[in-house]
Amino acid sequence: MKIALITLLPEVVEAFTHYGVTGRAVAEKRIDLQSFNPRDFATDKHRTVDDRPYGGGPGMVMRCEPLQAAVQAAKDWIKDEALVVYLSPQGKRLEQARTEQLANRNLILIAGRYEGIDQRAIEKLVDEEISIGDYVLSGGELPALVLIDAILRHVPGVLGHADSADQDSFGEDGLDWPHYTRPEVFEGQAVPEVLLSGDHKMIEQWRRRQAIAKTRKMRPDLILNRKN
């Protein structure tokens, strides 16, 4: 699996590849992750990647030409079919099911900056727009890294335990169940007895009930959406 990130801040991606799930995936060569800086493909002496928006208004807009050249370089590097994704607040909200679907795809992720990218670049280059939530960030790098982290959890061998991804939050029963570890009693509050029973069937049933109850309380929309 190859992931190319089109970004003006490749240093952010470089740091990300040394830690956690992504660091393990890169070290074990389960994923190839490469940054492509549109500034490297600018043709003027100032390496310009943005300009003022037509029609006026604040901020700057990323230009088509450097973006197109960077995406083409990423495609040449991947040397296979790849889905081009633009991270933007206007995209479809990212959900767990989509991260599972993307886990077997080569990806080119475009992280915008400033006021975003020229609409013509979106129409010409982008296959899908994805948002990680209904809020605005300074750029697309953090959403891109969130997407990568979520996807890699579904790549075989990346997590330490084969069942970890299956038991994550937003699984079959909605949100995750409560977790406990040592000490057995903390400031007068004990671990639920069922978790100490050794009865795996009872523990599984308890966890499922807790997950459903937590989902009804914290995210009832997940239950409503599932019924629909």
Considering the candidates 115, 129, 149, 176, report the single residue annotated as catalytic: 115
CA–CA distance, 9 with 31 (Å, rounded to integer): 20
Q: For residue 66, indicate whether it is catalytic.
A: no
Considering the candidates 89, 100, 149, 219, report the single residue annotated as catalytic: 89
Considering the candidates 65, 149, 168, 176, report the single residue annotated as catalytic: 168
Q: For residue 115, indicate whether it is catalytic.
A: yes
Burial-class residue 80 by CB neighbours within 10 Å (0-12, 13-18, 19+): exposed
Considering the candidates 24, 98, 105, 153, report the single residue annotated as catalytic: 153
Cα-flanking dihedrals φ and ψ of residue 182, to 5°? -65, 145
Q: For residue 168, indicate whether it is catalytic.
A: yes
Q: For residue 51, indicate whether it is catalytic.
A: no
Catalytic positions are: 89, 115, 153, 168
